């Protein structure tokens, strides 16, 4: 079995990609669930903007165009059309904008949120209680969510279901089409937070039947903080007027008409102010890597690495948080530890970048990671726990 895994290889030229990630010469990044490493392509993209700014002084046509191209790259990643994509600064902003477009006095005042959401998502929805929303929670048990628990939570007063695709703590992955079927059967909309899955697995918004989906860029999409993308299903765009808005949400932002509030016919109505331009340059380059390598091939390799993490962790006496079933997991595995922050610091001294979150230390390989990287990280984690 181990021999088979050792002999396994991804369906792409992993060595060629590794040569474009300079940090691999000195460290093993296992923190892709928090921040992916810099690549030569993302660095060059940042430099392109800096050169334009320095050389041209200003080039708004090209810069705003770059934000548009970044939307296109995200659309390609999730099988959407570019007109269904908005660019924002972070996922919190995307969810706030969605919430601002919901009229909680219309007979649907309930928001169903899972306990597996990244805290910011819960915070945005709880803040809507001031506007008449009532939040109810789908429970996490043993680090997982049972899709049947949505049945009790969703009713005919539910306006929207807000569910994460991947659980940030341990990589548990939800069955999105099953949640969509439950939400839509009761007339509710569905928002999916794909921040922990985009870049690790194929995402098809049409096949998944979601109404909204958002992701930031700095994790498995190989980018940076300060930029995120929001998908809004074409059929519902016209019915939404977010009060979290700004001049880039207008039909023609460059009309400069202060007294006229019209709405872009596309998902750009969810854009707000001046787009995050340098971030958009980097984001496009990062997403292009993922699209070029291919989410399907990436998923296949991450299943190998993820299984290696789980089996190897247990063989070293480590405790896996949540499910061990790779068909319901991203590549992220959380190992239960006493002092995750101290372990993160100690592991870095051993050349491994891990990611602490409360009760767990997360190891999250990506498409460029090798089986040797996973084994070395597990050895370092087991040694660190023993030595602390
Ligand atoms: C699943 C998930 N959603 C959202 C966030 C953060 O969202 P924001 O872009 O608002 O910081 C994170 C982590 O940073 C996350 O893991």
Tell me the CA–centroid distance for residue 339 and ligand 1, in Å. Answer: 23
Would you say how long the chain is, in residues?
388
Q: State the Cα–Cα distance between residues 49 and 66, nearest whole angstrom.
A: 10
What pLDDT is recorded for position 81? 98
The string over 70-103, giving b where at least 16 C-beta atoms fall within 10 Å of a residue's C-beta and e elsewhere, is: bbebbbebbebbbebbbbbbbbbbbbbbbbbbbe
Residue in 120, 194, 356 to alter for ligand 1 test, most ligand atoms within 8 A of Cβ: 120
> Is residue 131 within 8 Å of 273, Cβ to Cβ?
no
What pLDDT is recorded for position 1? 39
Q: State the Cα–Cα distance between residues 69 and 45, nearest whole angstrom.
A: 13
Q: Could you read off the pLDDT of 327-358 as tens digits, one per residue?
A: 999 999 999 999 999 999 999 999 999 999 99
Name the percent of the chain lying above pLDDT 70: 98
Cα torsion through 288, 293, 299, 301, rounded to 10: -140
Q: Is the pLDDT of residue 3 over 50?
A: no
Q: Could you read off the pLDDT of 84-143 as tens digits, one per residue?
A: 999 999 999 999 999 999 999 999 999 999 999 999 999 999 999 999 999 999 999 999
CB contact set of 286 (below 8 Å; sequence gap of 6+): 36, 39, 41, 42, 217, 221, 222, 223, 224
Tell me the CA–centroid distance for residue 216 and ligand 1, in Å. Answer: 7
What pLDDT is recorded for position 5? 56
Give how far Cα 149 sits from Cα of 122, 126, 137, 165, 209, Å.
Answer: 18, 20, 10, 16, 19
Enter the tokens of residue 224: 């940076």
Q: State the Cα–Cα distance between residues 372 and 295, nearest whole angstrom.
A: 22
Q: Could you read off the pLDDT of 282-329 as tens digits, one per residue?
A: 999 999 999 999 999 999 999 999 999 999 999 999 999 999 999 999
- Provide mean pLDDT across the span 185-190: 98
Q: What is the DSSP letter of 211?
A: S
The protein residue with its alpha carbon nearest to ligand 1, atom 11, reads 90
Beta bridge partner(s), residue 172: 329
């Amino acid at each position: 079995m181990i021999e088979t895994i050792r002999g396994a290889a991804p369906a792409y030229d992993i060595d060629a990609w590794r040569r474009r990630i300079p940090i691999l010469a000195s460290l093993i990044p296992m923190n892709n669930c928090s921040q992916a490493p810099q690549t030569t392509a993302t660095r060059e993209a940042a430099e392109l903007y800096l050169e334009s700014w320095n050389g041209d002084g200003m080039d708004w046509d090209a810069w705003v165009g770059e934000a548009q191209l970044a939307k296109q790259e995200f659309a390609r990643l999730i099988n959407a059309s570019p007109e269904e994509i908005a660019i924002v600064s972070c996922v919190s902003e995307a969810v706030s904008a969605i919430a601002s477009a919901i009229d909680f006095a219309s007979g649907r005042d309930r928001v169903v949120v899972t306990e597996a959401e990244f805290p910011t998502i819960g915070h945005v929805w709880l803040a809507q209680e001031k506007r008449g929303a009532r939040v109810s929670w789908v429970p996490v048990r043993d680090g997982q969510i049972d899709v049947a628990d949505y049945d009790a939570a969703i009713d005919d007063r539910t306006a929207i279901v807000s569910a994460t695709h991947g659980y940030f703590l341990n990589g548990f992955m939800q069955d999105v089409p099953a949640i969509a079927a439950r939400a839509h059967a009761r007339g509710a909309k569905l928002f999916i937070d794909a921040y922990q899955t985009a870049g690790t697995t194929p995402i098809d918004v049409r096949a998944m039947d979601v109404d909204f989906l958002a992701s930031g860029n700095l994790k498995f999409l190989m980018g940076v903080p300060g930029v995120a993308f929001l998908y809004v299903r074409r059929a519902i765009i016209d019915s939404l007027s977010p009060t979290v808005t700004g001049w880039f949400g207008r039909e023609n932002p460059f009309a400069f008409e202060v007294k006229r509030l019209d709405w872009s016919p596309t998902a750009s109505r969810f854009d707000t102010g001046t787009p995050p331009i340098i971030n958009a340059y980097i984001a496009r380059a990062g997403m292009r890597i993922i699209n070029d390598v291919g989410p399907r091939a990436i998923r296949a390799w991450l299943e190998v690495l993820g299984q290696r993490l789980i089996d190897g962790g247990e063989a070293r006496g480590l405790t896996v948080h949540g499910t061990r079933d790779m068909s319901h997991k991203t590549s992220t595995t959380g190992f239960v530890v006493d002092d995750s922050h101290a372990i993160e610091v100690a592991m870095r001294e051993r050349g491994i970048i891990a990611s602490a979150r409360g009760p767990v230390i997360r190891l999250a390989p990506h498409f460029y990671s090798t089986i040797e990287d996973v084994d070395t990280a597990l050895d370092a984690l087991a040694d660190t726990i023993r030595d602390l």
